[in-house]
Amino acid sequence: MPLRALLYRRPPSEPSEISVAFDGEIYLVRLRRHAQARRYTLRIHAATREIVLTLPPRGSVKQAREFAQKHGAWIATRLRRLPQAAPFADGTVLPLRGVEHRIEHRRGTRGTVWIECGSDGAQLLCVAGEAPHVARRVRDFLMREAKRDLEAASRQAAQALGVSVARVTVRDQASRWGSCSTAGTLSYSWRLILAPPFVLEYLAAHEVAHLAEMNHSRRFWRLVERICPHTSRAKTWLRAHGTDLHRYGAEGGTS
């Protein structure tokens, strides 16, 4: 094994996480070493509410623990500022294509997930089966719907630009809404199915335009705006509401 690899390998006795106590709460912090890190840094992933402390190669767990404890107030404040978690459970209201739907568990009913209009006029996302399976079934349903809509929007945008899409995949991407590979594979966050359709269509146009321009030049943005007239509106919506989409399906709680 190369000396460099040994240098950055986590020692067998090193913990993978530490705890930080602040104001009566206990927060779990995952430790992560990085070969290029020059200092200790803290980051909170909005999608998972996971707290990650990055250590430089020669950093110590003792110093990492002191650093995290020193920033206990920052951790607590940042977590409080995140939108309240909305787990996929009976009674949770979530947006589907921008329209509110209430999850209704139909235990004992045959089927998986389907949409109904309730007696009060509310849109219902009905889920069959036992309670422990509700969250997984809702997530699987949303991912299927996202893939279907994103494939259709991507193919339409590709046809408008005269380019070819090799494949469309959906994942739970925490740091970006979409990506485009040089091989023509487009990858999106399934959470776009929670946004209004014009937002999903913009992201599809954005990633497809990268098949013609693998950059963010003026020419790239002209291509996006040519096939997506509501680009500015969608970007504004994402800035205002994008973070909120990450709260759905989260269980919440870090202590």
Instruction: Mark whether 125 and 190 lie in a shared domain.
Output: yes
In a domain, 6, yes or no: no
For the record, the structure tokens of 43 come out as 């980051």
Residue 12: its pLDDT value, please?
64
**What is the separation, in whole angstroms, between the first and last Cα of the chain?**
39
The crossing angle, in degrees rounded to 10, of helices 134-161 and 218-227 is 100
Q: Please tell me whether residues 69 and 144 are part of one structural domain.
A: no
Output the CA–CA distances (angstroms, integers) from residue 151 to 55, 221, 254, in the order listed: 40, 21, 35
Q: What is the pLDDT of residues 219-252, one digit of tens each?
A: 999 999 999 999 999 999 999 999 889 889 976 5
Look up residue 134 and give its two tokens: 């509700």
Residue pLDDT, tens place only, 179-213: 999 999 999 999 999 999 999 999 999 999 999 99
pLDDT in tens, 68-127: 999 999 999 998 888 888 999 999 999 999 999 999 999 988 889 999 999 989 999 999
Q: Could you give the number of structural domains in the chain?
A: 2
Do the bridges between strand 93-96 and strand 113-117 make them parallel or antiparallel, or are there none, so unpaired?
A: unpaired
In a domain, 239, yes or no: yes
Give the Cα separation of 200 and 197 in Å (integer).
5
Tell me the H-state helices in the chain. 3-8, 61-70, 72-81, 134-161, 197-209, 218-227, 231-241
157 and 133 fall within a common domain: yes
Residue 87 counted as domain residue: no
Is 255 within the bounds of a domain?
A: no
For residue 230, the domain's CATH number is 3.30.2010.10
Read off the tokens for 67: 């650093």
Same-domain pairing of 116 and 189: yes
Domain span at residue 183? 93-247
Exposed e or buried b for every residue in 21-43, given b needs 16+ CB within 10 A? Answer: ebeeeebebebbbeeebeebebe
Asked if 103 and 162 sit in the same domain, the reply is yes
